[in-house]
Chains A and B, each alone.
Chain A
Amino acid sequence: MTRADRMLLAVAAALVMVLYGVLWQPGPGREAHILSAAGKPLQLDLDQARTVTIPGRLGPSVVEIDHGRARFVASPCTGKLCIRAGWQQRAGAVAACLPNGVSLSIGGGDRRFDAINF
């Protein structure tokens, strides 16, 4: 193997590593999945900006979708943990209002993880 061959192999190996790092990141999700204990499940395109009102056990929860992400913006619960969770955009991300029985999860894109523990 000549010196040029070795350099070529080294460059190829480096390229593979760079491509792995660039391309194997978790992709952004494509859909928002909304479950409600008081209504039908919804699947919404994250590319279409909108605000949806979801009926829950305590009252309506409001979810906003904008620029490929989604979040709770209003909820009848007192803790507001669902709102504090902020924007969700990675596939597999979840925010939920358990008192109101409404959950928001992001699906569709490549998932780096099969499940998230917290």
Chain B
Amino acid sequence: MSAALRRASIVPVCAALLLTACTAPPKVHSRSFLAFGTLVEVTVAGVEAEQAEAAIAAVEREFQYMHRSWHPWEAGALARVNELLATGEWFSVAPSVRPMIVEAGRLAEASGQRFNPAIGALVKLWGFHQDERPAGPPPAAEAIAELVAAQPRMSDLELDGIRLRSRNPAVVLDFGGFAKGYGIDRTVELLRRLGVENAIVNTGGDLRAIGSRGDRPWRIGVRDPRGEGVLASLETEGDTSVFTSGDYERYFDHDGERYHHILDPATGQPARGLVSVTVLAADGATADAAATALFVAGPESWPRVARDLGLARVMVVGADGSVHLTPGMARQVQIEDSTRAVMVEPLP
């Protein structure tokens, strides 16, 4: 071995020794439970097992509480709010619901009403308010047209302190495209209050990651919407929420046609043109509402709506399987399927 090679070998040997000194695996604790109508997985790093389990148990209780409060069709705070909105009279809104109304209203406005949680009556008409829709045809076109013509919007609501009323009796709140993200944000705040700074809260595939997994960032895979494998992967950078809306999540088939659950408030029909939209944002509420809004916006309008919502990291899978990335997403994500056509599209 020459002197140069000996010198060159010093660097990897030192690196190996350093790695040896750092091989204590990070403490990572994970538990899954059924809540919020889905499978929730909470992963916690950097704390002892006892503290982690106590924190995860607190998150589970919080999800159960939120489910009771925010379910639009089961007895609870939001169901009561919907009953009172229908009267058109002023009433005192439940404290667990008021901040959601404010935040959802802001996002509905910014998305140009593509995200619109005031269309609960339409969701119910289609049968997507149930865990499982009974088999049968889609609703009658006249019934859909009637609800669309009523134009229920969050801006129909008047808030005065804790008092609330609706100027439009067609408003029925259903936070289906928002509650997961908003709820995840609440549980992340709870984890931090309990001394947990490194965690992932994953509710049925939509998630928020904070901190890191000890010696490395959290690694997230984005499932292929039309296959079993992983379409893309990314490493989180600080607070990262990863939310995907797709036509494969909830749907029914009738007479050879598929009807999925993401409804376009402007037509009352399932939004067409895209297979899935994945959004990265710091907070879950924004990512959740934005994924819905961009899916509804469709192949032509999603870049403009993404700009209006202040998003930088978006991945869209088109009906032809092509993958479209904003420049910000292209920097953070790695496409695992090398056969896919991938396009980077700057926002307008």
Contact = CB atoms under 8 A, between A and B. Distances in A.
B132 interface: yes
B206 interface: yes
A30 B302 CA distance: 42
Contacts of A36: 34
16 contacts: A5-B5, A37-B34, A98-B37, A98-B132, A99-B132, A103-B34, A103-B39, A105-B41, A113-B230, A114-B219, A115-B43, A115-B200, A115-B202, A116-B202, A116-B205, A117-B243
B131 A98 contact: yes
Contact of A117 (B32, B43, B221): B221
Ranked nearest first, the 6 interchain pairs of A and B with the lowest CB-CB distance are A118-B223, A99-B132, A118-B205, A113-B221, A1-B4, A5-B5
From A1, A8, A96, A118, residue with most partner B Cβ within 10 Å: A118
Given A98-B37, A98-B131, A5 B219 contact: no
A35 B205 CA distance: 16
Interface residues of B, number: 42
A94 B39 contact: yes
A94 B233 CA distance: 17
B32 to A, nearest CB: 6
B19 interface: no
B242 to A, nearest CB: 4
Interface string A70-100: 0000000111000000100000101010110
Interface of B: 1-2, 4-5, 8, 32-34, 37-39, 41, 43, 131-135, 200, 202, 204-207, 209, 213, 218-223, 225, 228, 230, 233, 242-244, 246, 252, 278
Interface residues of A, number: 28
Contacts of B43: 114-115
Nearest to B208: A115
A104 to B, nearest CB: 9
Given A78-B134, A99-B132, A116 B230 contact: yes
A33 B41 CA distance: 12
Contacts, number: 95
Contacts of B221: 92, 112-113, 115-117
A101 interface: yes
A115 B246 CA distance: 18
A49 interface: no
A79 B259 CA distance: 13
A18 interface: no
A5 B1 contact: yes
A22 B1 CA distance: 29
A35 B35 CA distance: 11
B211 to A, nearest CB: 12
A9 interface: yes
Contacts of A99: 131-132
Contacts of A86: 228
A31 B224 CA distance: 24
Contacts of A114: 43, 200, 209, 213, 218-220
Contact of B2 (A2, A94, A113): A2
Nearest to A79: B132
A39 to B, nearest CB: 11
A117 B132 contact: no
A92 B219 CA distance: 12
A92 B5 CA distance: 43
B244 A117 contact: yes
A35 B244 contact: no
In this complex, which of B133, B219, B221, B246 has the most chain A Cβ atoms within 10 angstroms of its Cβ? Answer: B221
B34 A35 contact: yes
A103 B35 CA distance: 11
A30 to B, nearest CB: 15
Contact of B33 (A2, A35, A77, A113): A35
A5 B130 CA distance: 68
